[in-house]
A and B are shown apart, each in its own frame.
Chain A
């Protein structure tokens, strides 16, 4: 840790150092959070494979997310041509994990509700230019409240 590193107030982990290059830029924000343009992705060994999407501008806003493939190892992306272009990816074909992308499903963990992950609208990030967005599917192939974990995938995850 260096003294000149910027500090980030986080919801769950107090004050943290972060690097400018670990900020992901969401030019359109997230639906319902359109003004949130910057997120830092925090990974903690004790909470792996969870990823924490901490807002840069609001300490109290932090999403919990799981890698899409940890929720459903057979998940198939469907990113619109417009979203591919916004991410700086080849608009002509569906992005794949080898293209330097990260796919995360936002997790809902509310008291009184079964935990679920949103596979209908995954967060897709292009690691190469650090741009991200929520890629809303228009098909009905996946649920916005996919149970976590999906029981049929118990065997395939590790």
Chain B
């Protein structure tokens, strides 16, 4: 990873048409401005990860496979899934 030190008001360029400017630095975080062509998608990384993970979670087990799929968890975690072994 290329690491650069920039102060507020300074920018850097990626390729010919993307500019990242550090607008403001506070203890709560850095305020970043991005100039890029309209067709360039700019996403917070954690949002992209969440979208991918949600899409994966939505492709859950098929209806008839549910008991078997749950077993994959419950075999490993009988304590998590069993209500009978709670302390009396």
Give A residues with C-beta under 8 Å from B.
11-12, 30-33, 47-50, 61-64, 70, 106-110, 115, 118, 120-121, 134, 136-138, 144-145, 148-149, 154, 157-158
Contact = CB atoms under 8 A, between A and B. Distances in A.
A137 B44 CA distance: 11
Contacts of B58: 32-33, 61, 63
Given A64-B60, A109-B61, A134 B50 contact: yes
Interface residues on B, range: 20 to 34
Q: With a 10 A CB-CB cut-off, give which of B44, B81, B83, B85 has the most chain A CB atoms.
A: B81
Interface of A is mostly: loop
B79 A157 contact: yes
Contact of B70 (A32, A47, A70): A47
Interface in B41-88: 44, 46-47, 49-61, 63, 66, 69-70, 72-73, 76-77, 79-83, 85-87
A117 B69 CA distance: 14
B86 A158 contact: yes
Contacts of A148: 73, 76-77
Classify the interface of chain B: helix, strand, loop or mixed.
Answer: helix
A110 B56 contact: yes
Interface of B: 44, 46-47, 49-61, 63, 66, 69-70, 72-73, 76-77, 79-83, 85-87
Contacts of A138: 44, 46
Given A109-B60, A149-B73, A121 B80 contact: no
A137 B70 contact: no
A120 B49 contact: yes
A49 B73 contact: no
Contacts of B69: 109
